[in-house]
Amino acid sequence: MIDRGEMQVLKKLLKIYKSSPVPESFVDLKGAGQRDPDTAAQWNRVGVSSLYELGPFRLDPGAGVLTRAGDPTPLGSRGVAVLTALVERRNEYVPKSRIIDAAWPDLVVEEGNLAVQISAIRRVLAQAPGGERWVETLARRGYRFVGPVLELAETPLQRSGDRSNLPEALTSFVGREGELAEIKQLLPGTRLLTLVGVGGIGKTRLALQVAAEVVDAYRDGVWFVDLAPLTDVKLVPSAVAQVLHIRDAAGKWFVDTLCNQIRARQLLLLLDNCEHLLDACISFADAVLGSTTQTTIIATSREPLQVAGEQIYAVQTLSLPDPAASAESIGRSEAVRLFVDRAQRQLRGFSLTPDRASVIAELCTHLDGIPLALELAAARIRSLSVGQINARIGDRFRLLTGGSRSALPRQQTLRATFDWSFDLLTEEERIVMRRLSVFPSSFTLEAASFVSSDEAIDENAVIDLLSQLVGRSLIIADTSNAGARY
């Protein structure tokens, strides 16, 4: 039997339920009329979804899935619920009773079930370096999650298409799992992240992949601004405004108008190909960072912007194989994976066979793991064997010319890519670059000064010019030892 007091409570609850999906108060069965913060928080989460990046993994509690590189892991929905309870209170011990309540609501279960799920979680997380140690045990009390966590902002359950203009990827993204994880870890703590590297190294593709994976972290979206076609430095703010659908205001400096419009927005701007408009990009980035608090910029450039607060991330070549290794080991190389993937688009049925493995490894090594060079080499596979490409790779500027016809001219051949970078140099930088080309491999600072200095360019000037060429990603400096090599 239900007494009169309990009946009154039930009537109140029914009235709340009918009046609003998110009640203003929560009345417990004791009739205290107090708002339960935990329950209110659960109500307020209706219609929103929190995502978490755990190193190479993505935890989606709403969907009840843990993925890696977009593929679901074997962790079941109970395991995901347990992991979510730990991640939400990361770096603190969570009592077993609380975890059980979260993963098995309204059910009575033995603690042994929890132990089974913890073991399953550790097995899956062990796929990442050190992942098996991300869940710590406090004997007879509970567990604690101590792994890397990037919480993506809570957003309404909607598709992100209206909050992004990112171009659809027409080819698969190969490798760079480590770089993706590192950059996503850096983003929350920086306002300007610049990906720098030589032409053809894959800066744009890496930036686009990062942007696509963090769309849900920015309330007002992620926006791609392609600066490559521009030649007038004055058009940089206009290009950004066009993407963001912002109109100029008469009588105001356009950058001021733009900054005022985005001041309250939480968004990510991807400024792609800044090197030929460097001064304009520096001025724009400086104005945006100084006038807004929630706008983040990812820039791609062959040299840093050198703006206060800039985080520089040097994009490296793809990992290379050991030609003497087994075919299976060679196949794990990022450079080999990219070459094979692009070759398969040219010649259906192409694969990494044991007799091809060492030859492909040599080709990838000769091309230094540079993505553009690998893709241009793969474009030759319809008319040349891998061995024939390898035999002619010494004349790579003439051989590697079959780029996409829809790409900019400087991205269609390896020579055009190099010429584009060379043409952006000052005359003194070009002189030193030409003189340094006599070295077939690495060289020291002293050797560089010896071959590059003359009456017009003394040894101190060579040091400055060498540093500038390093900054423009045309020379790589290895400073790991006492004496740097280039």
3-state secondary structure of 21: coil
Is residue 202 within 8 A of residue 143, CB to CB? The reply is no
pLDDT exceeds 60 at position 29: no
| Angstrom distance (rounded) from CA 269 to CA 153 | 17
Helices within 107-176 (DSSP H only):
111-125
pLDDT tens digits, 252-308:
457 887 887 787 788 899 999 898 888 899 999 999 998 888 899 999 988 888 899
**pLDDT band, very low/low/confident/very high, at 311 (cuts 50, 70, 90):** very high
| Angstrom distance (rounded) from CA 272 to CA 205 | 10
| Angstrom distance (rounded) from CA 322 to CA 358 | 8
Residue written as token pair 């902002």: 153
Say which residue, 456 or 119, is predicted with more confidence: 119
**pLDDT band, very low/low/confident/very high, at 400 (cuts 50, 70, 90):** low
Helix 334-346 × helix 371-378 angle, to 10°: 30
What backbone torsions phi and psi does residue 66 show, to the nearest 5 degrees? Answer: -115, 120
Pairing between β-strand 71-72 and β-strand 57-60 as defined by DSSP bridges: unpaired
| Angstrom distance (rounded) from CA 465 to CA 433 | 9
Q: What is the pLDDT of residue 194?
A: 93
Total residue count of the chain as it appears in this document = 486
- Here the tokens at position 272 are 């792609």
| Angstrom distance (rounded) from CA 181 to CA 21 | 38
Q: What are the residues whose beta carbons fall under 8 Å from the beta carbon of 57, sequence distance 6 or more?
A: 66, 67, 68, 73, 124, 125, 128
Q: What percent of the chain has pLDDT over 90?
A: 16
DSSP 123: H
| Angstrom distance (rounded) from CA 31 to CA 25 | 12
How high is the mean pLDDT of the chain?
78
**pLDDT band, very low/low/confident/very high, at 422 (cuts 50, 70, 90):** low
pLDDT tens digits, 139-179:
878 999 999 988 764 433 334 446 788 888 888 888 888 88
| Angstrom distance (rounded) from CA 202 to CA 181 | 16
Say which residue, 129 or 425, is predicted with more confidence: 129
Is residue 75 within 8 A of residue 54, CB to CB? The reply is no
What backbone torsions phi and psi does residue 224 show, to the nearest 5 degrees? Answer: -100, 125
| Angstrom distance (rounded) from CA 57 to CA 53 | 6
First to last CA, the chain: 86
3-state secondary structure of 175: coil
